[in-house]
Amino acid sequence: MPASKANRLVYIDYLRCFGILLMVTGHVVMGNGGFDRSLEIWIYSFHMPLFFFISGYFCNPDNDTAAHIIKRCKSLLVPFVVFAVADIVFCGIVRNDWEWGGLFYANIKIPLNKALWFMPALFFTDLIAFLILKYLPEKTAIPILFLIGIFGCFHVMTLPFSIDSALVAVGYFASGYLFKKIRRLNELRLWEALLAIVIGSLLGMLNGKVNMRLNDYSGIILYWPAAIGMTIGFWNLFRILSGHINWPIAAYIGKNSMIYVCLNMFLIYLLELLLPDATGVWLAAKQCFETVIVMVILTVADYYISKTPLKVLLGK
């Protein structure tokens, strides 16, 4: 049976929370070898496309253009500028690394919290896709968006404000927009969802390491179906699970995800300074601990910040 609108919103919040958890975990294990490398490859093969896919799902080209752009500026560009400046000033004071170019080339020049690249990338992804969907017939707009996404994978030059990454993300945005119109894909059975996840995972591991921030996609023939397959699989998995399990904390994190993007790498940096080095099983335990601590601290911080005027810094 199709999920109700309320349930659909809840399971999409669960899915966002899952994506945030993957993001934090990916940053914690980044650069390590062994099992960590396999986990990193798996996470990076779909966790960023997932967020662009979700944004495309909720795109409504019937919205007023000016109001839509103002809303996206408030929710994405304001937090980006605030936390990018804070990151640059912090690194300037602590490490004498005054990289103001990070405001313009967040994907390569932000000194510490490189996750900030996502906010201008999502802004320009949304802007490009929204305008094309609004002012062109849908049958023309969707193929154009996919062509932009494919073209973007052949990275020619680094563009300011993560626009080069946004060009690729436009294709995933279009996938999410198209997905909501295909009822059958929104109603996969459990075995079908798990099969999509398994096949997507195999393709992602076969493709190898990718990184949207750095425009490294390995082979787009494998990258696209891996990312789309796992996204649709997990989408349906959480839809099914939402009918049996109530996760209020996960729903909260999914609804209030900005703080995790803005501050997770800063907290990981501090924890790495405070915690001792480890290897083997102790390294795994340390990484699990760091992930949990980051999620707990930022969830509590968001809860209290949201009750103050400072919530505007998080795009609220």
pTM of the complete model:
0.93
In whole angstroms, give the CA distance from residue 133 to residue 146: 12
Q: Mark the ranges of the chain whose per-residue pLDDT is less than 70.
A: 1-8, 31-35
Q: What is the pLDDT of residue 5?
A: 46
Please list, in sequence order, all residues whose beta carbon lies within 8 angstroms of the beta carbon of residue 277, skipping any fewer than 6 positions away: none
Could you read off the pLDDT of 294-316 as tens digits, one per residue? 999 999 999 999 999 999 999 98
Please list, in sequence order, all residues whose beta carbon lies within 8 angstroms of the beta carbon of residue 35, skipping any fewer than 6 positions away: 284
How many other β-carbons are positioned within 10 Å of the β-carbon of residue 42? 18
Could you read off the pLDDT of 232-264 as tens digits, one per residue? 999 999 999 998 989 999 999 999 999 999 999
